[in-house]
């Protein structure tokens, strides 16, 4: 009897120790991954202390300053300051407020039960969509770890080519008559400065995504992105008179407006002023915590599976270094999906995201698409993913993309994923021509 007790205890302890060792191994792997991420994230270039304000500060923190002119000219050095500051600041805000993390979906592997056949069915059958969500969850006590790499090379801002942005600065009214004179001794008030900007903005994001099945219907997860952002801007400003003549208005042989050589990069030319700025930063981006609860599953008939997802984006990324948005975002998403014929799963995601820092940036998120298993180990997915900001008056009022992806399950617990996000409309927001993502996923 005692022997039997001891034996069963030893069996239980062997099961326990097997679980423990399994968990120890999982924990060690997770800790190693987090340490690696933190180590990579700790690296930051010293080149750009205030990357976020690269464009605003392109001509210095006080905007465009001109060369003080000798009498009888009025002192002109600060006449374009307000206009240039406003223009550069607006562009800076448009660009930087539109930078954000792309979507990351949680995994949906596990089992459901086929009542008629009396067997569990693997829900990895179609491997799930890449950037959007299915209602089903991972499964109790399952741990899924994913590593993805995403490249964002932005090319358009509100439909304008980032290499050919143009800003026009006007000067203030010198004689105080309320207008910018186009004739007479004050006709130089109609001179303008036209700045042509070339902006090179791209991001490389390595995201570590872990999802754990708390119960068979409840998942919790974390997304830790390591972001490498590169922002470089070149501006070439020129002074023009009201007729478009370079150099601006002349009095005699002298130009009324001239750039301050100390504020321009060489080679210096009095009628034009070039400046370069920017840099690179690497670090932890905004960490996302998420949880999904699958409240309706396998109901039968036409009723789809349904789930609710809550997401908190924490301001862990340094806003000044362009690694994060600087605010906490809260999002809730309703998800519905249904699998037909065990291979085709249409899904819909609708939700609302609150930007606690700036409520005007609140957005409605939606996605509509499907994933389909073409082979037992290969699935494809297609989605229209959109984000609508009803109250926003700047960049990205309504952006919508087509997302196409493929997932391949070459080994039992390994999934390789690749995706490309293609803008359906480049006239809204800060857009890349295409956003590729590749990743690898392991299910413990």
Partner 1 sequence: MSLLISRAASLLAIACVVVGAISYSSTPTEAAKILALKSADVDVYNDALEGFRSGVSQGSTIVEYDMEGDFQKGKKFLARAKSGAKPDLILAIGVWALQVATEEIQDIPVVFAMVLNPPTVIGPEARNITGASMNVPIEQQLALLKKVSPQVRRIGVIYDPSKTGWLVRQADRIAKDQGVRLVTKSIASSKDSFAALDAIQDEIDALWIVPDLTVLAPESVQYILLFSFRHKIPVLGLSENQVRMGALLGLSFESGWDIGSQAAELANGILSGRSVGDIPFTMARKVRLTVNLKSAGKLGVHIPKEILDRADAVIR
Point out which residues bind partner 1 (CB under 8 A).
1, 3-4, 6-8, 10-12, 14-15, 110-113, 115-120, 122, 139-142, 216-217, 297, 300-302, 341
Phi, psi angle pair for 317, to nearest 5° = -85, 140
For residue 393, give Cα distances in angstroms to 202, 327, 356, 385, 426. Answer: 24, 19, 17, 21, 17
Report, in Å, the least distance between residue 222 CB and partner 1: 22
Nearer to partner 1, 221 or 317 (CB): 221
Please list, in sequence order, all residues whose beta carbon lies within 8 angstroms of the beta carbon of residue 26, skipping any fewer than 6 positions away: 143, 444
R_g (Cα) of the chain, nearest Å: 28
Nearer to partner 1, 11 or 179 (CB): 11
Please list, in sequence order, all residues whose beta carbon lies within 8 angstroms of the beta carbon of residue 13, skipping any fewer than 6 positions away: none
Report, in Å, the least distance between residue 25 CB and partner 1: 16
Contact predicate 184/174, CB 8 Å: no
Phi, psi angle pair for 82, to nearest 5° = -65, -45
What is the per-residue burial (b if ≥16 Cβ within 10 Å, else e) of 348-372? Answer: bbebebebeeeeebbbebbbebbbb
Report, in Å, the least distance between residue 223 CB and partner 1: 24
Report, in Å, the least distance between residue 27 CB and partner 1: 19
| Measured distance CA(16)–CA(279) in Å, rounded | 52
Report, in Å, the least distance between residue 406 CB and partner 1: 24
Please give the structure tokens belonging to residue 321. Answer: 């270094």
Report, in Å, the least distance between residue 146 CB and partner 1: 19
Nearer to partner 1, 53 or 337 (CB): 337
Nearer to partner 1, 3 or 166 (CB): 3
Q: What are the residues facing 283 on neighbouring strands?
A: 227
Please give the structure tokens belonging to residue 256. Answer: 């009324």
User: What size, in residues, is the chain?
Assistant: 444
Report, in Å, the least distance between residue 23 CB and partner 1: 14
Report, in Å, the least distance between residue 12 CB and partner 1: 5
Nearer to partner 1, 39 or 299 (CB): 299
**H/E run at residue 23:** helix 2-42
CA 360, distance to chain mean position in Å, is: 18
Q: How many CB atoms lie under 10 A from the CB of residue 293?
A: 18
Nearer to partner 1, 119 or 375 (CB): 119
Nearer to partner 1, 189 or 219 (CB): 219
Nearer to partner 1, 110 or 283 (CB): 110
């Amino acid at each position: 009897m005692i022997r039997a007790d001891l034996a069963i205890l030893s069996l239980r302890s062997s099961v326990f120790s097997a679980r423990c060792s399994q968990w120890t191994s999982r924990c060690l792997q997770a800790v190693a991954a987090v340490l690696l991420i933190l180590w990579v994230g700790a690296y930051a270039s010293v080149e750009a202390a205030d990357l976020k304000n690269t464009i605003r500060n392109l001509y210095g923190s006080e905007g465009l300053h001109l060369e003080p002119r000798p009498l009888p000219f009025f002192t002109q050095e600060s006449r374009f300051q307000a206009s240039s500051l406003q223009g550069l600041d607006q562009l800076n805000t448009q660009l930087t407020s539109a930078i954000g993390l792309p979507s990351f979906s949680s995994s949906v592997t596990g089992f459901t039960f086929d009542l008629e056949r009396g067997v569990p069915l693997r829900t990895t059958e179609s491997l799930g969509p890449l950037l959007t969500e299915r209602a089903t969850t991972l499964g109790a006590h399952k741990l899924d770890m994913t590593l993805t790499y995403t490249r964002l090379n932005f090319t358009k801002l509100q439909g304008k080519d980032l290499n050919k942005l143009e800003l026009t600065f006007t000067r203030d009214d010198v004689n105080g008559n309320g207008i910018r004179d186009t004739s007479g001794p004050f006709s130089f008030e109609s001179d303008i400065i036209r700045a042509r900007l070339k902006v090179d903005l791209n991001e490389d994001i390595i995201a570590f995504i872990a999802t754990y099945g708390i119960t068979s219907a409840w998942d919790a997860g974390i997304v830790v992105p390591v972001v490498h952002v590169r922002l470089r801007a070149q501006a070439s400003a020129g002074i023009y008179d009201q007729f478009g003549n370079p150099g601006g208005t002349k009095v005699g042989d002298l130009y009324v407006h001239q750039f301050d050589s100390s504020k321009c990069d060489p080679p210096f030319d009095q009628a034009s002023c070039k400046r370069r700025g920017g840099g690179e930063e690497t670090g932890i981006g905004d960490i996302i915590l998420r949880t999904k609860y699958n409240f309706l599953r396998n109901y039968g008939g036409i009723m789809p599976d349904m789930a609710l997802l809550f997401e908190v984006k924490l301001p862990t990324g340094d806003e000044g270094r362009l690694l994060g948005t600087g605010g906490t975002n809260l999002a809730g998403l309703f998800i519905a999906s249904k699998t037909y014929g065990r291979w085709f799963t249409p899904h819909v995601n609708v939700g609302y995201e609150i930007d606690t820092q700036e409520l005007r940036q609140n957005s409605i998120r939606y996605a509509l698409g499907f994933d389909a298993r073409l082979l037992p180990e290969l699935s494809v997915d297609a989605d229209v993913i959109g984000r609508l900001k009803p109250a926003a008056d700047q960049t990205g009022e309504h952006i919508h993309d087509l997302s196409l992806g493929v997932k391949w399950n070459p080994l039992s617990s390994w999934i390789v994923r690749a995706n490309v996000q293609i803008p359906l409309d480049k006239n809204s927001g800060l857009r890349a021509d295409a956003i590729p993502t590749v990743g690898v996923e392991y299910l413990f």
